[in-house]
Amino acid sequence: MGQLIVREVDDDIARALKERAAANGRSAEAEHRMILREVLQPAPDMTDFAAAAARLRARLHAGTDSVELIRAGRAERSDA
């Protein structure tokens, strides 16, 4: 794994990094890695996400219609 040294960081930036790290329960170094990861890692492929969401919607819609269940429940209560 590579190493990265950052020199001549503005005092306000260094202080903000330490405050953000403390707020997130991490060391300044771990927070720095997290920021770099968030900014530089490629975004997830939304095509895969959209396909997975479509499959999930199809599974959910394959079940019983809730309107039918509500009507049946109301009919049972009115018969009693």
The pLDDT of 60-75, averaged and rounded, is 80
Looking at residue 32, what is its pLDDT? 95
Radius of gyration of the chain (CA): 26
Model pLDDT for residues 8-43, shown as the tens digit of each residue: 999 999 999 999 999 999 999 999 999 999 899 877
Instruction: State how far the Cα of 14 lies from the Cα of 11, in Å rounded to an integer.
Output: 5
Contact 21, 27 (CB under 8 A): yes
For the stretch 41-67, pLDDT in tens is: 877 777 788 888 888 888 877 666 778
User: What's this model's pTM, rounded to 2 decimal places?
Assistant: 0.53
Any idea where the domains of the chain sit in the sequence?
46-79
Q: What is the pLDDT of residue 8?
A: 96
Alpha-carbon gap, residue 73 to 64, rounded angstroms: 14
